[in-house]
Structure 1
Amino acid sequence: MNEVRWGIIGTGTIAQAFAADFAHAKTGTLRAVASRRKEAADAFAERYDIELSMVDYYSLINSHEVDVIYVAVPHSLHFELTKACIKAGKHVLCEKPFTLNETQAQELFELAAQHEVFVMEAMWTRFNPALEQAIEWVEEGEIGLLQSVQASFCFNATSQSEGRLFNKDLGGGALLDVGIYPIFLAQLFFGKPDFIQNQAVVGDTDVDVFEQLLLGWESGQLASLESSIISQQPNRAVLSGSDGYIEFGQEWYQTKTLTLVKNGGAEHAIEFDFPGLGYQFEVEEVNRCLQEGLLQSPNHSWEDTLNLLATMDEVRQDIGVYYPGEPEPCGHDCDIEHHHHEHGHHKH
C-alpha cells in the first residue's frame, strides 16, 4: 500500500489530540474529517490542515479518498460505526474501549476477518516509548520475576457532570473510560486474570464513578488497580519484581520518564524525548501493519481487546452497571440491596 490515507470520525478532545500528534507520524496522510455539525468539521479541518471535511459519518465511511478511519466518538457508537467501516472495506483504528462489551467486539472481529480489513483498538499507551522500554526490561529479566502491577487512572470530571462520562446511554463510567488503562497494563504482562475482586461506587446516573480492582493469577501474580472520574491521583504505575521494580512517571499512560530500581538501590532513569502526547506511535503501528498486509497488530491483538472487555464485562456484571441493549441477568426486581451488600458496593 502506498501512502496510507486517513480519515477521522468525531471532533472531540481525543480526536483533537490525535490530529495534532498525527503531524509527528513518520508515515500516512490525514485527508478527511467527519462530524455531524458542519461548523465543527470545517473548523477541525482548518485547524489541522485537513483537505476534506464531511458532515455525515457515512459519507466519510463510503469515501474513496481514505484507506483507514479513526473512530473517535462516544463509546455507544463504536460498534455501529466500526461495523459500517468494515462493511465498506475500510481499515479501522477505533478508540478504546473498542466496544461496550466482548460480544460486540467478537462480532466485529469476525466481520473484519471476512472482509479482510485491518482493525485495532486505539490502545495508544501500548506504543508509548516508555512502555516499550518497560516491556523490554521485564523481558530481559532486569527486575527478575515480575510479581505485581500497581496502576491508577483517576481524574475529577464532576464539573462535566452533564457530559458523556456520566451518561449511561453514551457508555459512560470510570471503568470503560479510564479503568481500561490499568487493566490493560496488568493483562499486557499477565494475560486474562483468573480471579477478579472489586469495590465500586456507582453514582446517581447509574454509571460507576470509582473502583478499586484486585486481579489475581493462578501463577501467583497480583494487580492492584484504581480508576475514578470523581477524584485526582498522580496516576503512577509500578511493576514489581523479585530483583527490583520499574516506576513510570506521573500520568504513566503517556509518560516520558521511566525509572528502573534494583534491589540494593541502584537506579537507572530514562527520559524519552518525543513531541506531542504520543498518539503518533499508534498511527505508525497501523501503517506498518497495513504495509505488511496484517489484519491485526501483534502488539495489541484482537485477543488482547477481547480479554480486556471480558474483564470489564465481569466487573460491570458484579457491580450491576449495564448499558442500553445489554441483557440484565435478573431483570429489575431482583434483590438489588442484597447484591450490593454482599459485594460491598456502595451508592455514591
Structure 2
Amino acid sequence: MKKVRWGIIGTGQIAHLFASDFCHVKAGELRAVASRDKVSADNFSAEFDIECAFVDYFSLINSHEVDAIYIATPHVYHYDLVKACILAGKAVLCEKPFTINETQSKELYDLALEHNVFVMEAMWTRFNPVIEQVLEWVEEGEIGTLHSIQASLSFLAPTDPSHRLMNIELGGGALLDIGIYPVFLAQLFFGKPDFIQNQAVIGDTDVDIFEQILLGWESGQLASLEASLISCNPNRAILSGSKGYIEIDSEWFKAKSCRMVAANDQERAIAFDFPGNGYQFEVDEVNRCLEEGLIQSPNYSWQDSLELMATLDEIRQDMGLFYPGEDFLGEGANNEVDVHEHHHEHNHHKH
C-alpha cells in the first residue's frame, strides 16, 4: 500500500487528538497543516513534526504535497471546505457532523460523485474495534433479537458564550456535536427511525444544551438516547436482546472493552489493547478505500451519513433550533421528510 499524504485543516482539540493518533496509521504520512493563525500553524507543525504549515486553508487544499485532507474546523465551515477539496480533487475526511444539515450534505456527496472524489464523514466510532465486535455479536445472533439500545454522551462543556459549543453562529449545541453519536449507534443497528420524540433544554445562547431522544421503528425496536453539555454521565451503551445484552464500557464511543451477558448470567468480556484514542482506524479505512479506487466507504457510506443528518434535522426542527442562513422549508430543502408521518413531542424548556 502506498503512503497517502495527509493534510489537516484546523488546529483545535480534535485536530490534536487526530494528529496524536496518526503515528499508529498503517499507511499514511502527515505532511501539512493549515490554520488561519500563523503561530498556531507553526506550533502544530512543530509538535507533530509536520513539514508544511499553511496560514490559509485554500493553500493547503491546492497544495501538491497532499492527497487527502482531514477537516477539523467548527461545523459551519465544513460545507465550503469540503466543496473546495472536492473541486481540487483531494480526498476528504470531514469531522462530524459532515455539514449542518442534510441538504448541504447531499449537495456535497452529489458533487463528489460528479468529480469522482473520495469523501467520508469522520464517524471514527464506526471503525473502533469494540463497535466491530458488537456488530459481529449482534449479526451472529449472540443476544438473540436486538430490541433496544440505550446510549448517552454527556460532559461538562465550557460555559463561555463565544465557545463553539455555545455559539449558534458556529453551529453550536449538544445534538450536532455529541448527540450525533448515540443517534449514529441506534441507526447503525436499526436504520433510520420511523418515529422520533424528544425533550430538549435550550440554553441562554439559544443552542440545545441537553436532550433526551426516543427513536422508534415500525418493526418494534426502540432507542433511548441522551446528550448533555451540562451534566455528567457514565457514557455507557447497552444493547438489549431476547437472549441477553451487550454493554459497551465507558466511554462507549471510544471504548476499548465491552461485555456480553447471556440470559443465564454467563458473561463474556473482551478488551482491545490499541494505542491512542482510536482515530487511526478511520484513517486506515480512508487509505484502504483510496488504494481500492473507491469514492465512498462501504462500511460508512454516504447514505449512512445522509440518513443520520436527516434524523438530526428532524430533531432540530422539532426543537425549533435553526442556524444562521438555514431555511429548512425553502428552496433546496429536504422535501422527502413529511413531518405528518412522524410522532413528535413538542416540549422545550428554556434553561
TM bucket, shorter chain: over 0.9
One-letter code aligned to 1:216: G
Check conservation: 1:7, 1:69, Cα contact below 8 A.
yes
Q: 2:323 aligns to what SS in structure 1?
A: coil
Distance 2:185 2:35 in 1: 32
Cα offset, 1:160, TM superposition: 4.1
1:344 alignment partner, one of 337, 343, 347: 347
Distance 1:103 1:206 in 2: 22
Check conservation: 2:165, 2:174, Cα contact below 8 A.
yes
Cα offset, 1:158, TM superposition: 3.7
Query: Structure 1 residues 91, 47: CA separation in 2 closer, same or farther (over 3 Å shift)?
Result: same
Distance 1:127 1:315 in 2: 26
Partner of 2:338: none
Distance 2:275 2:31 in 1: 21
Tell me, yes or no, if structure 1 residue 317 matches structure 2 residue 317. yes
Partner of 1:30: 30
Q: 1:153 aligns to what SS in structure 2?
A: strand
Check conservation: 2:2, 2:27, Cα contact below 8 A.
no
Question: Paired residues, what number?
Answer: 337
Distance 1:51 1:96 in 2: 26
Check conservation: 2:161, 2:205, Cα contact below 8 A.
no
One-letter code aligned to 2:346: H
Distance 1:160 1:240 in 2: 38
Runs of 4+ that moved beyond 6 A: none
Deviations 1:53-82 (A, max 9, x none): 110100000001100000000000000000
Distance 2:67 2:159 in 1: 38
Cα offset, 1:3, TM superposition: 1.5
Tell me, yes or no, if structure 1 residue 190 matches structure 2 residue 190. yes
Tell me, yes or no, if structure 1 residue 87 matches structure 2 residue 87. yes
Distance 1:187 1:240 in 2: 15
Partner of 2:53: 53
Distance 1:212 1:83 in 2: 33
Deviations 1:9-48 (A, max 9, x none): 0000000000000001111111000000111011101101
Partner of 2:308: 308
One-letter code aligned to 1:141: G
Distance 2:158 2:211 in 1: 16
Deviations 1:172-201 (A, max 9, x none): 000000000000000000000000000000
Partner of 1:258: 258
Distance 1:177 1:200 in 2: 15
Partner of 1:337: none
Tell me, yes or no, if structure 1 residue 11 matches structure 2 residue 11. yes
Distance 2:201 2:71 in 1: 29
Distance 2:54 2:225 in 1: 40
Distance 2:321 2:204 in 1: 12
Q: 2:327 aligns to what SS in structure 1?
A: coil
Partner of 1:149: 149
**Within 5 A, what are the aligned runs for 1:97-176?**
97-176=97-176
Partner of 2:247: 247
- Equivalent pairs: percent with the same residue? 69
Distance 2:225 2:190 in 1: 14
Distance 1:49 1:115 in 2: 32
Deviations 1:222-262 (A, max 9, x none): 00000011111110000110000100111100011100000
Query: Structure 1 residues 170, 42: CA separation in 2 closer, same or farther (over 3 Å shift)?
Result: same
Q: 1:309 aligns to what SS in structure 2?
A: helix
Q: So what's the TM-score if we normalise by structure 1?
A: 0.95
Check conservation: 1:158, 1:230, Cα contact below 8 A.
no
Distance 1:112 1:64 in 2: 19
Q: 2:114 aligns to what SS in structure 1?
A: helix
Q: 2:165 aligns to what SS in structure 1?
A: helix
Deviations 1:141-175 (A, max 9, x none): 10000101100001111444430000000000000
Check conservation: 2:156, 2:231, Cα contact below 8 A.
yes
Unpaired stretches in structure 1, ≥5 consecutive residues: 331-341
Cα offset, 1:271, TM superposition: 1.1
Check conservation: 1:35, 1:55, Cα contact below 8 A.
yes
Cα offset, 1:204, TM superposition: 1.0
Distance 2:166 2:218 in 1: 35
Aligned residues: CA RMSD? 1.1
Check conservation: 1:200, 1:210, Cα contact below 8 A.
yes
